[in-house]
Amino acid sequence: MQIMVDTNVVLDVLLNRTAHVNESAAVLKAASDDIQEFISASSITDIYYIAQKELKKTSLTKQLIRNLLQIVHVSSVSEVDIWAALDSGWEDFEDAVQNSVAEHHRFDCIVTRNTSDYSNSALSVMTPKEFVNKFVSK
């Protein structure tokens, strides 16, 4: 199984967002040979920017990204993905890019806290809790 992990799920863990950290961390901990987890290349820059802005420590932010890359794979964002996002009709361009990348790579699902942002996706979209309950907590 290959899944796209949305930016908000990663930030929950890296920034220790109390309300969501446990469920989001369970998603990242589920990474294995059976569950390959991906984030888009554009997410990496967003994650770095937001984490750096909040933590205000470059060395810590870089270390968190290094740690993250030990868990997840990075999917490229191609010109085709950008065009698909632009032509998708989605209001939120970032979400449209994420979805285009996930569809292009034929991921099995997108894991996000903001499932409503992906209501027009052709892929399965679930919250961290739904994902863990369905695929991890067996």
pLDDT digits (tens, 9 = 90+) for 9-67: 999 999 999 999 999 999 999 999 999 999 999 999 999 999 999 999 999 999 999 99
CA–CA gap between residue 89 and residue 87 (Å, rounded): 6
% of the chain residues with pLDDT over 70: 99
DSSP symbols for the chain: -EEEEPHHHHHHHHTT-TTTHHHHHHHHHT-SSSSEEEEEHHHHHHHHHHHHHHH--HHHHHHHHHHHHTT-EEE---HHHHHHHHTS--S-HHHHHHHHHHHHTT-SEEE-S-GGGGTT-SSEEE-HHHHIIIII--
Q: Which two tokens stand for residue 110?
A: 């997108």
pLDDT of amino acid 12? 97
Question: What is the average pLDDT value for the chain, to the nearest integer?
Answer: 96
pLDDT digits (tens, 9 = 90+) for 83-114: 999 999 999 999 999 999 999 999 999 999 99
Mean pLDDT confidence for 104-127: 97
Domain ranges of the chain: 2-136
Q: Which CATH class is domain 2-136?
A: alpha beta
pLDDT of amino acid 118? 96
pLDDT of amino acid 122? 96
At 137, the pLDDT band (50, 70, 90 cuts) reads confident
pLDDT of amino acid 138? 61
